[in-house]
Amino acid sequence: MENNFLLRIESLKKSFYKGTADQVEALNDVRIDIREHDFITIVGSNGAGKSTLLNMIAGVYMPDSGRIYLKNKDITYYPEYHRAKYLGRVYQDPKMGTATHMTIEENLSMALLRGRERGFKLGVNKKLRELFYERLSQLELGLEKRLNAMIGTLSGGQRQALTLIMATISNPMLMLFDEHVSSLDPRTAELILNLTDVIINREKITTLMVTHNMEHALKYGNRLVMMHMGRIILDLDKEKKSNLTISKLIHLFERAAGEHFVDDEALLSET
Binding residue for other proteins, selected from 17, 115, 240, 242, defined by CB under 8 A:
115
Burial 221-238 (b: 16+ CB within 10 A, else e): bbbbbbbbbbbbbbebee
Torsion of CA 214, 220, 221, 224, to 10 degrees: 10
- Cα dihedral 43, 48, 52, 53 in deg (nearest 10): -50
- Separation between Cα atoms, residue 78 and residue 84, nearest integer Å: 10
Residue 69 CA: distances (Å) to CA of 38, 78, 155, 196, 238: 16, 11, 37, 25, 24
Residue of 51, 76, 109, 160 interacting with other proteins (CB under 8 A): 109
Interaction residues for other proteins, span 130-189 (CB under 8 A)? 150
Rounded least distance, CB 70 to other proteins, Å: 14
Q: Which is nearer to other proteins, 5 or 78 (CB)?
A: 78
- Min dist CB 123 to other proteins, Å, is 4
Q: Using CB under 8 A, which of the segments 79-87, 192-200, 208-216, 251-259 binds other proteins?
A: 79-87
CB nearer other proteins, residue 38 or residue 106: 106
CB atoms within 10 A of CB 139: 18
Least spacing, CB of residue 19 vs other proteins, in Å = 21
How far apart are alpha carbons 76 and 206 in whole angstroms?
Answer: 19
Looking at 24-32, 75-83, 132-140, 211-219, which segment touches other proteins (CB under 8 A)? 75-83
Residue 248 binds other proteins (CB under 8 A): no
Of 173, 214, 174, 167, nearest in space to 192 by CA? 167
**Quick check: 24 binds other proteins (CB under 8 A)?**
no
Binder to other proteins among 122, 243, 260, 262 (CB under 8 A)? 122
- Verify binding: residue 47, other proteins, rule CB under 8 A: no
Applying CB under 8 A, the site for other proteins has a residue count of 33
Among 96, 229, 233, 244, binds other proteins (CB under 8 A): 96
**Closest approach of other proteins to the CB of residue 48, in Å:** 23
Q: Sort strands 24-34 and 65-70 into parallel, antiparallel or unpaired.
A: unpaired
**Which is it for strands 223-228 and 39-43: parallel, antiparallel or unpaired?**
parallel
For other proteins, the binding residue among 8, 14, 50, 89 (CB under 8 A) is: 89
80 contacts other proteins (rule: CB under 8 A): yes
Residues 6+ apart with CB under 8 A from 113: 170
- Residue 59: CB atoms within 10 Å: 19
Is residue 73 within the footprint of other proteins (CB under 8 A)? no
Q: Which of 101, 126, 127, 187 binds other proteins (CB under 8 A)?
A: 101
Sites of contact with other proteins (CB under 8 A): 58, 79-82, 84-85, 87, 89, 95-102, 106, 109-111, 113-116, 118-124, 150
